[in-house]
Amino acid sequence: MTDAITLPQRCGRLAIVGQPNVGKSTLLNALIGQKLSITSRKAQTTRHQLQGIRTEGEAQLIFVDTPGFQTRHANALNRTLNRTVTAVLGGVDAVLFVVQAGRFDLADAKVLDLLDPGTPTLLVANKLDKVHRRADLLPWLRDMQSRFDFVHLVPMSAKRVPDIQRLLELCTPLLPEQPWLFEADDLTDRSERFLASEMVREKLFRLTGDELPYTSTVVIDEFKLDGVMRRIAATIVVEREGHKGMVIGAGGERLKRIGTEARQELERLFDGKVFLQLWVKVRSGWHDSEARVRSFGYE
């Protein structure tokens, strides 16, 4: 009787990069099977490096969500976010370069220029469901392959489970053989405090739409575990007094709704009760001050 073959453990980091609004955060959430990264239509919703962990069989895939690379505005916040992208690319085992299927513009090209040809890179042609003429996709894929030596071309939709499973199968052989860095049931390296600030910011962006400029943020003032209850106090920071009124809304109704939806999301995420208090403060020019950007937790 022969001994069973034990496969070696694999573990590695894979950066998810692309211009804003190509679906990077939605892709991360689908790959992990859990909502970790916030999403909205507003550009630059993702502002931090966020590691999502998927352990399957002997492989542990650590996906690193990054801010959309900003090419239009050069304020302190965007310079910081772009530094985050370039720093991540310097320390990963593979890259998922995400574009909208059938499209490639100057902003995509600037992200592509950041990639190291020596790092295995997959072209993730996301939002395949938006391509109306599939016959146009093959010449577009050939053109993309001529621009960079991609190890795989992956037309897909992050909303389709079979597409996500196929992407996981393509990524796994790219990981080095080494012990796992996290426990098998870990989903992220980020704290509950960080996730709380992100969920509030998502509801802020979603419920204010285009009224509120993206130069708003959320700071957690207090995060305490009281028995089974998490007590969270947070401040929404805006640029102008007029923005404060937009967030609060008539009779405080919009701020109340932001708090209610954020609390419900956090209770699902933490699988427990949450008491959430929100305030709104004005800090003019914070997004163009390197010191203030750092003080608000942007690295």
Contact (Cβ atoms closer than 8 angstroms) between residue 147 and residue 105: no
Order of strands across the sheet with 229-238?
217-226, 229-238, 274-282
Structure tokens at 100: 């909208």
CA atoms within a 13 Å half-sphere pointing along the CA-CB vector of 29: 16
Structure tokens at 245: 């009124």
Question: Would you tell me how many other CB atoms lie within 10 Å of the CB of residue 250?
Answer: 7
Q: What is the pTM of this model?
A: 0.77
Separation of alpha carbons 34 and 164, rounded Å: 13
CATH 3.30.300.20 boundaries in the chain: 192-295
What pLDDT is recorded for position 1? 45
Separation of alpha carbons 84 and 298, rounded Å: 9
Give 16's strand partners: 65, 96
Structure tokens at 281: 């403060």
Structure tokens at 275: 């008491």
What pLDDT is recorded for position 284? 76
59, containing H or E segment: strand 59-65
Name the class of domain 10-174. alpha beta
Contact (Cβ atoms closer than 8 angstroms) between residue 282 and residue 244: yes
What pLDDT is recorded for position 175? 97
111 burial class (0-12, 13-18, 19+ CB within 10 angstroms)?
buried
CATH 3.40.50.300 boundaries in the chain: 10-174
214-225 exposure pattern, b = at least 16 Cβ within 10 A, e = fewer: bbbbbbbeebee
Percent of residues, the chain, with pLDDT higher than 90: 53
From 246, 237, 234, select the one nearest 277 (Cα to Cα): 234
From 298, 99, 276, 299, select the one nearest 215 (Cα to Cα): 298
Angle in degrees, CA 86, 88, 92, rounded to 5? 125
Residues of the chain with pLDDT under 70: 1-5, 38-49, 67-86, 211-215, 285-299
Task: Tell me the residue length of the chain.
Answer: 299
From 26, 38, 33, 55, select the one nearest 214 (Cα to Cα): 38
- CATH number of the domain located at residue range(s) 192-295 in this protein: 3.30.300.20
Give 61's strand partners: 12, 54
Residue type (1 letter), 37 = S
